[in-house]
Amino acid sequence: MAVHTKNAYGQISITDEVIASIAGYAARDCYGIVEMVPRNLTDSIAVLFQRDSQSKGVRVVTSGNRIYIDLYVIIKFKVSIKAVCDSLKEAVKYHVEKFTGMIVDTVNVNVIGVKL
């Protein structure tokens, strides 16, 4: 799927994979995030065959011009999970909206584990 918008110059289409890459880059820059992890075994196998794994641990669903993002992360030990998740949600929402010009409706963070 993809999100579509129009402006004076024509139509713009942005695929879910591009949005997932943007969200992945933004998530990796957040303090407290150790790594992004695949959601399940199928995603783990798919990541092995991808050249660009920036979208690992990111699931994007689009509906109309709305974007819904699920993140699967491992966070650093001894940091506030709530603070890291809130910061992560705001950063991903900001970067995706700024880059795409679309509205991010929801960012869900799934903490899979913690690491030192």
Range of the domain at 15: 2-115
User: pTM of this prediction?
Assistant: 0.84
> Which parts of the chain have pLDDT scores under 50?
none
Whichever domain contains 19, its CATH number is 3.30.70.1350
Q: Check residue 5 and give its pLDDT.
A: 79
In contact, 62 and 15? CB cutoff 8 Å:
no
Q: Check residue 6 and give its pLDDT.
A: 81
Contacts of 25 (CB under 8 A, 6+ apart): 54, 95
Give the count of domains, the chain: 1
Q: Check residue 48 and give its pLDDT.
A: 59
Tell me the C-alpha to C-alpha distance, in Å, between residue 23 and each of 78, 85, 100: 24, 14, 11
